[in-house]
Amino acid sequence: MKIRAVLFDAYGTLFDVHSVALLAEQLFPGCGDKLSVLWRDKQIEYTRLITMSAAPGDEARHYLPFWDITRASLRCAAARLGLTLLPAAEEQLMNQYRHLSAFAENHEVLKTLKRRGVSTGILSNGDPGMLGVAVKSAGFADLLQHVISVHSVRRYKTDPAAYALGPATLGLPAREILFVSSNAWDAIGATWFGYTTLWVNRSGAAPEQLGTEPTFTGRSLRDVLDHFPASAQPTRPTRST
């Protein structure tokens, strides 16, 4: 089987969700890391709550765009930690989240994939506006052919409807697409859906214990390049957003 394209998760994989911790620490001394971690945990918890509560044919009933979920989870995290989140501080943190830092090796990896003619894209929970700003801010706009948001189906990963957007957009079977995520739960969900998967285990975390493993495991985005050697010259599709 030949892998013909690669799709990246965005938040946690291309963009460091905990790069907000520095600003959080400046605003709430001694609580920056705690706020960052709880903020992220609530964000993912809310996506699951919304998707699991959606009835078939009524996906929009509880749906909130990812930007709204991100704000709601920030407010919840601050309240749980007993922090007074004034409107100005909230806007500072939300703006920082809009412009998250990219991991150090990512730009060069994407440039290398482009030189090798590999079709690349994002498949993310982020809504289109968030993703557009993040991609442009990181300097990735010319390095990704596809930016796919689950917003169109109103269901968040790991729902099959979210993962199905990848094959539908690329016109390829899931098994011929390398799905790359630093989130272990996301890598497992994508594996169950049928993608060839790479879990970028940056922290050396223990694997999930569900009887399923990602197809591959690595420690940085550079491991993606092993699956697209320089000698391979796949045809690149027309860029889509």
Query: CA–CA separation, 148 vs 150, rounded Å?
Result: 7
Query: CA–CA separation, 111 vs 127, rounded Å?
Result: 24
Query: CA–CA separation, 210 vs 232, rounded Å?
Result: 35
Query: CA–CA separation, 174 vs 165, rounded Å?
Result: 10
Query: CA–CA separation, 214 vs 179, rounded Å?
Result: 10
* Bridge partners, 119 (sequence order): 5
pTM for the whole structure: 0.90
- pLDDT per position as a tens digit, 134-189: 999 999 999 999 999 999 999 999 999 999 999 999 999 999 999 999 999 999 99
User: What domains are defined for the chain?
Assistant: 5-15+101-227 (3.40.50.1000), 17-98 (1.10.150.240)
Q: List, by residue number, the catalytic residues.
A: 9
Record the tokens describing residue 41, joined without a space. 């945990």
Average pLDDT, the chain: 92
- pLDDT per position as a tens digit, 175-195: 999 999 999 999 999 999 999
pLDDT over 60 (residue 112):
yes
Query: CA–CA separation, 206 vs 190, rounded Å?
Result: 18
- pLDDT per position as a tens digit, 41-57: 999 999 999 998 876 76
Say how many Å lie between the first and final Cα of the chain, rounded.
Answer: 27
Q: Which of 148, 133, 103 is CA-nearest to residue 6?
A: 148
Query: CA–CA separation, 161 vs 163, rounded Å?
Result: 6
Query: CA–CA separation, 102 vs 41, rounded Å?
Result: 20
Q: Which of 117, 139, 77 is CA-nearest to residue 233?
A: 117
